[in-house]
Amino acid sequence: MKEFFKQVGATVVGIMIFCLVVGVMSVMSIVGMIASSSATKDVADNTVFVIDLNGQLQERAEDDIMAVLSGGRTDVIGLDDLLLAIKKAKNNDKVKGIYIQSGLFVSDSYASLQAVRKALVDFKKSGKWIVAYGDVYTQATYYLSSVADKVYLNPSGQVEWSGICSQTMFVKDLMAKFGVKMQVVKVGAYKSATEIFTGDKMSDANKEQVSAFINGIWNTVCTDVAKSRKVTVAQLNQYADNMITLGDPKDYVKYKLVDKLLYVDQLKAEVKKLMNLKDDDDVNTIGITGMAGVPGGSDDGDCIAVYYAYGDIVDNATGMASRSHVIDGAKVSADLRDLADDDDVKAVVIRINSGGGSAYASEQIWRAVQLVKAKKPVVVSMGGMAASGGYYMSCSANWIVAEPTTLTGSIGIFGMFPDASGLLTEKLGVKFDEVKTNKNSGFGTMARPFSEEEMGYLSAYIDRGYKLFRQRVADGRRLSTDAVEKIAQGRVWLGQDALKIKLVDQLGGLDDAVAKAAKLAKVNDFYTAEYPAKASWMDDLLDNGFSSGSYIDEQMRMTMGEYYSTFMLLKNINRQSAIQARMPYVITIK
């Protein structure tokens, strides 16, 4: 028996040692994978920069341990990484051109697509070429690819070109089946975020604003494509109306949307012609990840901080059911105060891509921007959205730069309070009784909906919040409150229209915002530093272990498509601040 226990003990120890060794080897393997992908790279002669348009374009892409273990992140493209890679490719003499590979590609906004397209147009100013190829071009990938010198399509391929549609999903009747309804107090005729919970169709005011901004976006898309492909906007609209998406591929050549139909194996010969290479010469390629390791820029001069703030605005991100990126009011405020106190930072550019969220958190970030502004210039660069709470935190900056198709404005506020008394008392049979000391001691109870008097108190509270928001805008934009009121009421504006009504100062991208910040700070030689630092794979491992939260979240996003946002909204509704400054919860533009 003694020998038996000795053998069992030895076996257990052996298994433990084996697991330890395997674990160490696994970590070393991961370190090697990350190190090899981030190491400084030299670009070989005759290199083509390959932009593989597969996955989802987001403001930034961060390392994820589960993505690394599954073979590397391939489903998220960081807008910041892509723009920097295009700039490096333009300035590198060994990079001869860009090859765009069209695939299943999703963007968070047309403003982000427009930023990429402008970077590609700028790349062509270097005299280098761009070639695009696709088995299928989605409308988004075609918008980017149309800038190419040559657009090629598979002989059995397809070009999606049908215009823009915005659909809203309404869940009032769904919630009613569970005995839940939403009690709403809002200010602003155009403040339509609550409609999905209280109505079954879009209000007239909401239809008006949505029609205005999707038509504005579509006109911009058509104008850009028409210029590149040398067709007219009227022709492009006719193609969309005639449903050419399901047309004969040969017609795309006739319509001048593509230059040639060819198979992918024939593409290399076309590229070699552009590079003046012989058939037996090699063509080297480098992707977005590879370009990250290519040296570019310098750390000479003064520092301009670029602070990224994107996602829903929340009071506190702790305990959020999804690990999707958010703007944590407390953390962002603390970070901005640190930048205000950093003497090495001469100006701050805040890159905002948010439809808003918590009104309280928005006010705290507004205060932090004021503190930075008291010491150094603050410039806001708006991405796809900087609306409602996103505009709240922008309005006091020294200068605001927006893309023409940025969604901004939406100056308004609302309160939304679920009433689950029907679920509890009627569906589940729960009974309530109470004893209270004062008239309103039971305010907010789940046993009943708000009374008319209680709704009056809430209305007054929400109205004060709206007036504060409106005053912040008036002070920041140097407008009267009456002038702000005329363009407020929760109305969403495109960046190009916001310029006309003085909600923004300039149309352009992040580079334009940085240039303006340098000018305001009176610095000639400068470099940019990004804040907050991206979470590395090691941070992810130490903070979350092998939790698959964000990885699974991204897979769900890709799988569920347009229904993902609504699903996550319902999942997290009880975790959100009751008082919100935000655009419509879910805007589906396709």
Domains and CATH numbers, the chain: 40-162+243-292 (3.90.226.10), 302-589 (3.90.226.10)
What is the torsional sign of CA 55, 61, 67, 71?
positive
The tokens for 544 are: 């979350």
Is the separation of the CB atoms in 90 and 83 below 8 Å?
A: no
Is the separation of the CB atoms in 378 and 398 below 8 Å?
A: yes
Distance CA 439, CA 501 (A): 47
Single pTM value for the model: 0.85
The pLDDT, as a whole number, for residue 64 is: 54
Q: Which of 121, 111, 50, 56 is nearest to 510 (CA)?
A: 111
Q: Which of 502, 507, 508 is nearest to 488 (CA)?
A: 502
Which stretches within 137-263 are classed as H helix?
139-145, 172-177, 195-198, 204-229, 233-241, 249-254
Residue 301: HSE in the Cβ half-sphere, 13 Å Cα cutoff: 17
Instruction: From residue 34, give the alpha-carbon distance in Å to each of 59, 294, 360, 536.
Output: 21, 15, 39, 10
Residues annotated as catalytic are: 191, 388
Does residue 163 come out as left (phi exceeding 0), alpha (psi in the -120 to 50 range) or beta?
Answer: left
Give Cβ neighbours of residue 225 (< 8 Å, ≥ 6 apart).
Answer: 142, 143, 146, 231, 236
Q: Which of 86, 92, 95 is nearest to 53 (CA)?
A: 86
Q: What is the pLDDT along the chain (590 residues), one digit of tens a residue?
A: 555 445 545 565 556 565 555 454 544 444 444 444 445 668 888 899 999 999 889 999 876 554 445 444 457 899 999 999 999 999 999 999 999 999 989 887 999 999 999 999 999 999 999 999 999 999 999 999 999 999 999 999 999 999 999 888 898 999 899 899 999 888 888 888 888 889 999 999 999 999 999 999 999 999 999 999 999 999 999 999 999 999 999 999 999 999 999 999 999 899 988 888 887 778 899 999 999 889 877 778 999 999 999 999 998 876 554 456 899 999 999 999 999 999 999 999 999 999 999 999 999 999 999 999 999 999 999 999 999 999 999 999 999 999 999 999 999 998 888 888 888 888 889 998 889 899 888 888 888 899 999 999 999 999 999 999 999 999 999 999 999 999 999 999 999 999 999 999 999 999 999 999 999 999 999 999 999 987 655 555 555 544 444 555 555 555 555 555 555 555 555 555 666 676 654 555 55
Q: Which of 94, 55, 406 is nearest to 220 (CA)?
A: 406
Instruction: From residue 563, give the alpha-carbon distance in Å to each of 124, 155, 232, 275, 527.
Output: 37, 33, 35, 44, 41
The pLDDT, as a whole number, for residue 265 is: 92
Which stretches within 230-344 are classed as H helix?
233-241, 249-254, 264-275, 288-292, 329-341
Is the separation of the CB atoms in 115 and 403 below 8 Å?
A: yes
Burial class (CB in 10 A: 0-12, 13-18, 19+), 291: buried
Q: Which of 229, 231, 104 is nearest to 160 (CA)?
A: 104
Indicate the SS3 state at residue 219: helix
Instruction: From residue 453, give the alpha-carbon distance in Å to each of 414, 416, 450, 515, 519.
Output: 18, 16, 8, 53, 54
The pLDDT, as a whole number, for residue 418 is: 87
Instruction: From residue 77, give the alpha-carbon distance in Å to each of 73, 498, 511.
Output: 9, 29, 19
Q: Which of 307, 357, 294, 358 is nearest to 334 (CA)?
A: 307
Does residue 104 come out as left (phi exceeding 0), alpha (psi in the -120 to 50 range) or beta?
Answer: beta
The pLDDT, as a whole number, for residue 555 is: 55
